[in-house]
Amino acid sequence: MSDVTAATAPATLPPGVRTPRPRELTDALSREILDLKKKLNAVILAHNYQTGDIQDVADYVGDSLGLAQQAAKTPADVIVFCGVHFMAETAKILNPGKIVILPDKDAGCSLEESCPGSKLKALQDTNPNFYTVAYINCSAEVKALSDVICTSGNAVKIVQSVPADRDLLFVPDENLGAWVTEQTGRPMTLWKGNCYVHVEWTHASILRIRQQYPGAPVVAHPECTKAVRMLADEVCSTEKMVAYCKSTAAKEIIIATEAGMLHRLQKECPNKIFIPAPTDSCRCNECRFMKMNTLEKVRDCMADLHPRLELPPSIIERARRPIERMLEVSAR
């Protein structure tokens, strides 16, 4: 490990508030990371919710679908996955022979936590005609129990591809599932999980910001509740948000998703003004799991090749097919 260290936040700061790292330290860390990348023949994949400094050193920044597609085709020897645990698991399932490392192995997800494999299996056993569509925000064990995986970017297409005579079981996000049913007209049994960040926006909090910026469209992630989605001009995955914001004539846009998205949007659309939609409480639009990763931890995991993502071969074997099926349907 090198001697470039993080600026530590004083204990008096509220949770989630970080002291900005001096610019020279960020630059030194970024240089170290780029040197390690060359040495390891590594690729750095980062989700749109990562902090700006991590996004800026990544080879690819995108949504869960884009990240899975990149992982499926990378020629690199080492994948540095800057996102949450289930995303790194997906990369490992697609690349069992490669080294997959992640800055913080404890970066989980409330959706993943809501759906243990044993409980899903018990529900599946109640109906042999279930066809299980699992949102990618779930464990490798749940993926191994599923027929096909989807992301918010392709969920509508995936559900439309399921044979009409099958009973659809959608896990683990009830809000995304309800939105997909609205889009496709296909009824589904929904697992009762949610994203603890996206359910923080409320009808009242969106109405208030709309009144403040009457000309600004509202863009919301489908993990938001129906009460929020019904006020949105566009409901889409984080990657589709970039395309929408580039193409709309609006100069000011209200964004209802995790705060990391604003860095990406501002970079892609420098002449537009992005307004983070307020929640009813303070600073609730940061995912504590996504924010466990720091530039220092990215450097350290590359220097140590640790923590490393490992999965039992039997899980890799069973989870791979539903992910490949998703990639096939997505490419059609």
Instruction: Give the nearest distance from C-beta 290 to ligand 13P in angstroms.
Output: 8
Cα–chain center distance at 127: 30
C-alpha separations of 179 from 174, 184, 188, 205, 297 in Å: 9, 9, 11, 20, 36
The DSSP bridge pattern shows strands 130-135 and 218-220 to be: unpaired
Instruction: Give the nearest distance from C-beta 180 to ligand SF4 in angstroms.
Output: 15
Q: Based on CB atoms, which residue is closest to ligand 13P, 258 or 300?
A: 258
Q: Based on CB atoms, which residue is closest to ligand 13P, 112 or 300?
A: 112
Cα–chain center distance at 166: 28
3-state secondary structure at position 30 = helix
Q: Based on CB atoms, which residue is closest to ligand 13P, 83 or 278?
A: 83
Q: Based on CB atoms, which residue is closest to ligand 13P, 221 or 263?
A: 221
Judged by CB under 6 A, the chain residues 265 through 294 that form the site for ligand SF4 are 287, 289-290
> Does residue 148 belong to the site contacting ligand SF4 (CB under 6 A)?
no
CB under 6 A: which stretch of 53-61, 97-105, 146-154, 309-317 binds ligand 13P? 146-154
Q: State how far the Cα of 254 lies from the Cα of 7, in Å rounded to an integer.
A: 31
6: left (phi over 0), alpha (psi -120 to 50) or beta: beta
48 binds, among ligand SF4, ligand 13P, none (CB under 5 to 8 A by kind): ligand 13P
Q: Based on CB atoms, which residue is closest to ligand SF4, 111 or 319?
A: 111
CB under 6 A: which stretch of 22-30, 145-153, 274-282, 309-317 binds ligand 13P? 145-153
Structure tokens at 252: 């000011």
Q: Which residue has the tokens 């509740």?
A: 225
87 binds, among ligand SF4, ligand 13P, none (CB under 5 to 8 A by kind): none
CB under 6 A: which stretch of 36-44, 192-200, 275-283, 312-320 binds ligand SF4? 192-200
One of 74, 110, 146, 238 touching ligand SF4 (CB under 6 A): 110
> Does residue 60 belong to the site contacting ligand SF4 (CB under 6 A)?
no
Backbone angles phi, psi at 280, to 5 degrees: -80, -20
Q: State how far the Cα of 204 lies from the Cα of 105, in Å rounded to an integer.
A: 36
C-alpha separations of 286 from 104, 142, 203, 260, 269 in Å: 17, 26, 19, 8, 21
CB under 6 A: which stretch of 20-28, 122-130, 151-159, 324-332 binds ligand 13P? 151-159
One of 50, 132, 137, 279 touching ligand SF4 (CB under 6 A): 137
> Does residue 195 belong to the site contacting ligand 13P (CB under 6 A)?
yes
Q: Report yes or no: 111 and 89 within 8 Å, Cβ to Cβ.
A: no
User: Which residue is nearest to ligand 13P, using beta carbons?
Assistant: 63
Structure tokens at 188: 């589904």
Structure tokens at 129: 């005609």
Q: Report yes or no: 136 and 150 within 8 Å, Cβ to Cβ.
A: yes
- Residues lying near ligand SF4 in the complex (CB under 6 A): 84, 109-111, 137, 195-197, 223, 258, 287, 289-290
